[in-house]
Amino acid sequence: MHRGLKQLCGLEKSYMRKAFCSMRAFVLLKIAQTELNISIYQQKWGIVRNSVENFLAIRCFA
> pLDDT digit string (tens) for 13-56?
656 666 677 778 888 888 888 898 988 888 888 888 999 999 88
Other beta carbons within 10 angstroms of residue 12's beta carbon come to 11
Q: Please report the DSSP string for 6-51 in residue order.
A: HHHH-GGG--HHHHHHHHHHHHHHHHHHHHHT--HHHHHHHHHHHH
Residue 22 near residue 5 (C-beta atoms within 8 A): yes
pLDDT for 39: 86
Record the pTM. Answer: 0.55
pLDDT for 14: 57
